[in-house]
């Protein structure tokens, strides 16, 4: 085994993989030759202190021999082979990992080494007199390097990966870079030289063999056809050659959406119905144009294209999600005047990408027909309110006027009229239930109440729940039915200088201040006098 190992180490030295090691049987001359030979492929760490001669030592990692493996020999030229020299080894691993034959200077490794755990060991060599332990040479430091072998496969430390790329991307668009790590020595041989290949995901994606950058390899990949792809990438060492170790990882590639699909109505026409009594703002129907894109690329706006009655009677707006068009009543409808409406509706993408405009137009149209349904409506008065008038003191039964209502659903249907009791609590008026004529029930006094306001109800005879109300204002007109009356109670008097035949007194409305206080001026035939009558003011 030892001879085989020596041959193996010599072969490695000849291939430039390690410094040559001195076989145990050779002396200083062989050691010197070993140093000269190693200079041809690697700069040696030549140590020569006085008479020490050795090369840098190497040991192959992961070697598991049946006995300690000889890795080299220390030798000094003061050793004449008389057996008085004792070789001593200290430093990293001395006595445990590495042992030295104290007589010959042969160094053996006693256990399997792992370069990835520790790549080199620094030791101290010394030659002493066996009898006295007196140093014959100063201690000298040397290094044992652990030679790498390809014992570590590439590992993707950050996998599995997830990446996103827009659909319809051009060939060669970069998706993501994956990187594998090889713990072997990148400076030695090809053990850590990696090559990347795609194991799964062809022909849609490719990978750069040296950098691990994944790129699109197929044009016009459509998210609406396939949104997600699984790509398996392998990294192989030894430059990808046979015998190399490999590792793999997965990359989940998701195609992100672009606005490359115009909206399309699933049908060319829609039909809805609405009752004529639906108030403005009531929803009539909902329609949706299909857009296979997603997010903001699928947002739609709806509009009514045709003018005229369709656009005047109905409106359309987009729901909060930007997907559906909701048709609503815009103004009151009347079945009796129009039974249906037909108009066109357009759906348009709110956002358009100029890059894909060639796939347009990004809009579509559909025809909408809305049928107005008849409703059992209450009677409709001919006016929104009525204003009637009557002279005061007119006898009971005097005609004031007439209110008229009609059943729009069936104009020939009978209508019954009545006065809401609480609007005419004194029963001043009455109404003919058949024709709506309004009469007085008692004489009215304008000076007592000049206006009366009441509510008249019209009810369908066949459907008493269908009723309408209208306000009726009645004005009481004046007649000359009141004699004049003095506004005040007057006390006539005359001035002390009044002439015969003059008016006894005419009150003047002028109030004056006299020397005796506040007074009223009295005129008697052009003559004025003043009277202090504060209580008369």
Q: Do 140 and 166 form a contact (C-beta atoms < 8 A)?
A: no
Give the pLDDT confidence score for residue 95 in this predicted structure. Answer: 87
Per-residue pLDDT, 299: 95
Whole-prediction pTM = 0.56
pLDDT category, 208, cuts 50, 70, 90? very high
Assign 33 a pLDDT band (cuts: 50, 70, 90).
very low
pLDDT at 217 over 90: yes
Cα dist from 207 to 155, 215, 223, whole Å: 17, 6, 21
Q: Does an H or E element contain 36, and which?
A: helix 28-38
Cβ atoms 376, 467 nearer than 8 A: no
pLDDT tens-digit map of 87-146:
999 999 888 888 998 888 888 888 888 888 888 899 888 889 888 889 888 888 888 888
- Residue 256's pLDDT is 96
Which pLDDT score is estimated for 376?
81
pLDDT tens digits, residue range 36-81? 323 222 333 333 444 454 556 888 877 766 678 888 888 877 877 7
Q: What is the mean pLDDT of residues 227-231?
A: 97
Which residue's structure tokens are 């200079």?
39
pLDDT confidence bin for 18, thresholds 50/70/90: very low
User: Is residue 8 predicted with pLDDT exceeding 60?
Assistant: no
Output 295 or 73, whichever has higher pLDDT: 295
3-state secondary structure of 309: helix
Highest mean pLDDT among 190-194, 293-297, 492-496: 293-297
* Mean pLDDT, rounded, for 315-336: 94
Instruction: Summarize the confidence of residues 211-230 as an average pLDDT.
Output: 96
Neighbours of 422 (CB within 10 A): 8
Mean pLDDT of 409-414: 81
Find, among 150, 161, 182, 152, the residue nearest to 233 by Cα: 161
What's the pLDDT tens digit per position in 358-378?
A: 887 999 999 999 999 988 888
Average pLDDT over residues 307-322: 90
What is the 3-class SS of 291-353, one letter each residue?
CCCCHHHHCEEEEECCCCHHHHHEEEEECCCCCEEEEEECCCCCCCCCCEEEEEEEEEECCCC
What is the dihedral angle through the alpha carbons of 263, 269, 270, 275, rounded to the nearest 10 degrees? 140
Is the pLDDT score of 179 beyond 80?
yes
Q: Under a CB-based contact definition with an 8 Å cutoff, are residues 365 and 269 in contact? A: no
For 474, the token pair is 């009645």
Q: Closest Cα to residue 471, out of 377, 387, 389, 536?
A: 387
Query: Six-digit token pair at 263?
Result: 């909206």
- Which stretch of 22-31, 226-235, 313-322, 429-438 has the lowest confidence by average pLDDT? 22-31
Q: Mean pLDDT lowest for which of 29-38, 221-230, 276-285, 332-341?
A: 29-38
What pLDDT, on a 0 to 100 scale, did the predictor assign at position 267? Answer: 96
Answer yes or no: are the C-beta atoms of 522 and 515 closer than 8 Å.
no
For 419, the token pair is 């006065």
For the cut 50, the answer to whether the pLDDT of residue 495 exceeds it is: yes
Residue 22, pLDDT above cutoff 70: no
Q: Which residue has the tokens 């796939």?
A: 359
Determine the pLDDT at residue 49. Answer: 43
Write the CB contacts of 366 (distance below 8 Å, at least 6 apart in sequence): 265, 267, 268, 269, 270, 287, 289, 344, 345, 347
Amino acid 412: pLDDT: 78
Tell me, what's the pLDDT at 41? Answer: 28
d(CA 366, CA 302): 11
How far is Cα 410 from Cα 400, in angstroms, rounded to an integer?
Answer: 28
Q: Which residue has the higher pLDDT, 71 or 292?
A: 292
- Say whether pLDDT at 333 is over 70: yes
Q: Determine the pLDDT at residue 536.
A: 41
The C-alpha atoms of residue 19 and residue 11 are separated, in whole angstroms, by: 11
Please tell me the least confidently modeled range out of 57-71, 78-92, 391-405, 451-465: 57-71
pLDDT of residue 83: 82
Half-sphere exposure of 441 (CA within 13 A, CB side): 10
Q: Which residue has the higher pLDDT, 216 or 56?
A: 216
- Predicted confidence (pLDDT) at residue 309 exceeds the cutoff of 60: yes
Mean pLDDT, range 224-239, rounded to an integer: 95
Q: Is the pLDDT of residue 405 over 90?
A: yes
Largest Cα span, the chain? 191
Q: Which of helix, strand or coil describes residue 123?
A: strand
pLDDT at 32: 32
Which positions ≥6 away from 191 have C-beta within 8 Å? 148, 149, 150, 152, 182, 184, 185, 237, 238
Q: How many Å apart are CA 95 and CA 107, to the nearest integer?
A: 10
**Exposed/middle/buried for residue 30 (C-beta within 10 Å: 0-12, 13-18, 19+):** middle
Q: Which of 375, 364, 378, 347 has the alpha carbon at shortest distance from 458?
A: 378
CA distance 391 to 87: 150
């Amino acid at each position: 085994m030892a001879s085989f190992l020596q041959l193996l180490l010599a072969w490695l030295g000849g291939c430039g993989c390690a410094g040559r090691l001195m076989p145990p049987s050779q002396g200083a001359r062989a050691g010197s030759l070993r140093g000269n030979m190693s200079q041809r492929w690697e700069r040696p760490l030549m140590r020569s202190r006085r008479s020490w001669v050795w090369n840098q030592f190497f040991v192959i990692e992961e070697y598991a021999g049946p006995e300690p493996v000889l890795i080299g020999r220390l030798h000094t030229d003061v050793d004449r082979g008389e057996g008085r020299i004792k070789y001593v080894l200290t430093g990293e691993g001395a006595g445990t990992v590495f042992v030295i034959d104290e007589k010959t200077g042969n160094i053996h490794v006693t256990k399997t080494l792992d370069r990835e755990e520790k790549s080199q060991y620094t030791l101290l060599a010394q030659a002493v007199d066996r009898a006295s332990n007196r140093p014959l040479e100063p201690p000298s430091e040397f290094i044992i390097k652990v030679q790498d072998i390809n014992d570590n496969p590439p590992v993707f430390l950050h996998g599995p990966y997830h990446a996103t790329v827009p659909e319809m991307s051009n060939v060669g668009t970069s998706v993501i870079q994956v990187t594998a790590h090889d713990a072997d020595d990148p400076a030695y041989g090809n053990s850590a030289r990696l090559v990347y290949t795609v194991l799964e995901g062809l022909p849609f994606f490719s990978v750069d063999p040296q950098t691990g950058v994944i790129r699109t390899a197929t044009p016009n990949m459509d998210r609406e056809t396939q949104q997600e792809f699984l790509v398996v990438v392998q990294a192989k060492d030894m430059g990808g050659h046979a015998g190399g170790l490999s590792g793999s990882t997965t990359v989940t590639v998701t195609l992100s959406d672009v606005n490359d699909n115009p909206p399309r109505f699933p049908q060319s026409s829609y039909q809805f119905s609405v009752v004529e009594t639906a108030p403005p703002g009531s929803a009539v129907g909902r329609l949706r144009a299909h857009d296979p894109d997603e997010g903001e690329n699928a947002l739609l706006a709806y509009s009514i294209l045709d003018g005229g009655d369709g656009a005047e009677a109905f409106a359309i707006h987009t729901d909060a999600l930007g997907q559906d068009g909701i048709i609503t009543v815009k103004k009151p409808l009347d079945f009796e005047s129009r039974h249906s409406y037909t108009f066109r509706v357009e759906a348009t993408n709110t956002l358009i990408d100029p890059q894909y405009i060639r796939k347009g137009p990004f809009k579509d149209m559909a025809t909408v027909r809305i049928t107005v349904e008849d409703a059992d409506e209450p009677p409709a008065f001919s006016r929104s309110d009525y204003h009637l008038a009557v002279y005061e003191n007119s006898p009971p039964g005097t005609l004031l006027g007439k209110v008229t209502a009609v059943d729009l659903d069936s104009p020939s249907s009978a209508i019954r009229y009545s006065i809401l009791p609480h609007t005419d609590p004194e029963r001043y008026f009455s109404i003919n239930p058949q024709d709506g004529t309004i009469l007085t029930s008692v004489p009215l006094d304008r000076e007592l109440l000049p206006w009366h306001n009441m509510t008249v109800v019209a009810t369908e005879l066949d459907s008493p729940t269908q009723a309408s109300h209208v306000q009726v204002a009645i004005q009481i007109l004046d007649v000359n039915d009141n004699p004049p009356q003095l506004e005040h109670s007057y006390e006539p008097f005359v001035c002390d200088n009044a002439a015969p035949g003059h008016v006894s007194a005419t009150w003047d409305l002028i109030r004056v201040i006299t020397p005796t206080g506040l007074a009223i001026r009295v005129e008697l035939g052009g003559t004025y006098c003043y009277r202090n009558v504060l209580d008369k003011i």
